[in-house]
Amino acid sequence: MADHDPRRPSDPDPIDDSTRSTKRIIEEEEKTAAATNDLRVFFDCVPATIWTTDTRLSLTFVEGQLLRNLKITPARLVGRTLQDLLLDGREDHPLVQGHLTALAGHENTVRIEWGGDVYSARLAPLRDAAGTITGVVGIYQQIGWLPDEEGTLREADVRMRRAIDANIAGIAFGNEDGQITDANEAFLELTGYSREDLTADGISWPALVPVELHQRQLDAIDEMKQSGRCGPIEMELIRRDGRRVQVIVGGARLSARRREGVAFVVDVSASKRTSRHLTAELAAADALLEHARPEAAIPRLLEVLCKQLHWQSAMLWRQGPAGVCVLAARHGVMPSDDASIEAMGRRAVTEGDMLWSAAARTLAIPLATNAYDNCALILVSPPDETPEAGAISTSRAIGRRLARALSTR
């Protein structure tokens, strides 16, 4: 073995390398700590809040003034979704919509009023090195404030109050117990209640909805809890006087924290009635076309009058040459007073005009026809109900159609 040459450089000392490596690590940690401290000082001073999210709108980073004001740490927010953090939890919240716009690749600005202050949030897509959108980056800054003195109305409040008081549709506010806490005049008029009824346990949604439609109401409530809104759906409401009114109802959740919501109610009774009247006339025309002999279509016409126009009973009364009254056809629940029915028919034919008896709830429509010497359509309304003008007009039109068919047979 060769002797060691003292002039030859010695091998590196492993102890010295370890010391230098440890020193470098310490220096890097100190630099990182200094940078972190500088960043902390920056966020402690900047009058704004900065955050990032992933594509599911879960916070991945947040720092700034809002956290200082609320006295919370970033750890309490990171990992939670934006929808979860918003007090009302609405999917259609402007801040949520702004994030979705940013995820679609478009920068945008959202203006928010909260706690008496006005904020502006600037949102932009967060991209990786390849340019792929991986989330959203946002900055949130106070840009003004709103006066909060007693009696001061905000512009948004004034606009909302004007929309409610316009009474274009019924608007009602309620809580999670189903109690209606406030409503506009259109809603009160629609349901037959007064403003004095808006007291504790005064008006409740369950009491307004018929039993057979309660499941539809429960489905709407579940939809509102999940998405923040529901409807529009067709419903019936029970008025204070017991009558039912057909409506279209839509709703929205105002605050998930306070469990408040608003319902928009549109009365569609008139359009529904018009639809029924048109359906009745079309059904009567179809019945006459389907039968070669018009007499064969009479039972179907009487059924249409009861089903579509809500008459309790419908009869075709005629008087033969000998003056004998004959009930040619009938449908529905027959009244017990046949004498008054016959008298109404005789009088209508004699006077040649339509007659209405409130006491007997009976409408008599004379039919000018060659089929019989004297003929009248007798209609009886349900108890405690007065037939609407549209139902009377449509019934008369169906009677004229039948008279023409009988005259040309």
Banded pLDDT at 145 (limits 50, 70, 90): low
Residue 91: per-residue pLDDT = 60
Residue 136 phi/psi, 5-degree rounding, is -135, 140
Residue 8: per-residue pLDDT = 54
pLDDT over 50 at 185, yes or no: yes
Per-residue DSSP letter, 258: T
pLDDT in tens, 258-272: 678 889 999 998 888
Q: Which domains are seen in the chain, by residue range?
A: 46-145 (3.30.450.20), 155-267 (3.30.450.20), 272-407 (3.30.450.40)
Average pLDDT on 308-312 reads: 89
pLDDT over 90 at 59, yes or no: yes
pLDDT over 50 at 300, yes or no: yes
pLDDT over 90 at 400, yes or no: no
Place of tokens 């608003």: 262
Check residues 167 and 74 and name the one with the higher pLDDT.
Answer: 74
Residue 150: per-residue pLDDT = 45
| Among 143, 146, 114, 147, residue whose Cα is nearest residue 48 | 143
pLDDT over 80 at 14, yes or no: no
Place of tokens 């590196």: 12
Per-residue DSSP letter, 150: T
Banded pLDDT at 137 (limits 50, 70, 90): very high
Residue 256: per-residue pLDDT = 56
CB atoms near residue 6 (< 10 Å): 6
* 335: preceding bond cis by omega (within 30 degrees): no
Banded pLDDT at 30 (limits 50, 70, 90): low
Average pLDDT on 278-297 reads: 88
pLDDT in tens, 347-390: 887 777 888 888 888 888 888 766 555 788 889 888 877 888 88
Check residues 78 and 117 and name the one with the higher pLDDT.
Answer: 78
Residue 78: per-residue pLDDT = 92
Banded pLDDT at 214 (limits 50, 70, 90): confident
Residue 1: per-residue pLDDT = 47
Decide: 52 and 137 in contact? Cβ < 8 Å: yes
7 CB contacts (<8 Å, ≥6 apart)?
Answer: none
What integer best gives the mean pLDDT of the chain?
80
Place of tokens 């008369």: 396
pLDDT in tens, 86-128: 755 556 678 888 999 999 999 999 887 766 677 888 999 999 9
Average pLDDT on 132-151 reads: 75
Banded pLDDT at 152 (limits 50, 70, 90): very low
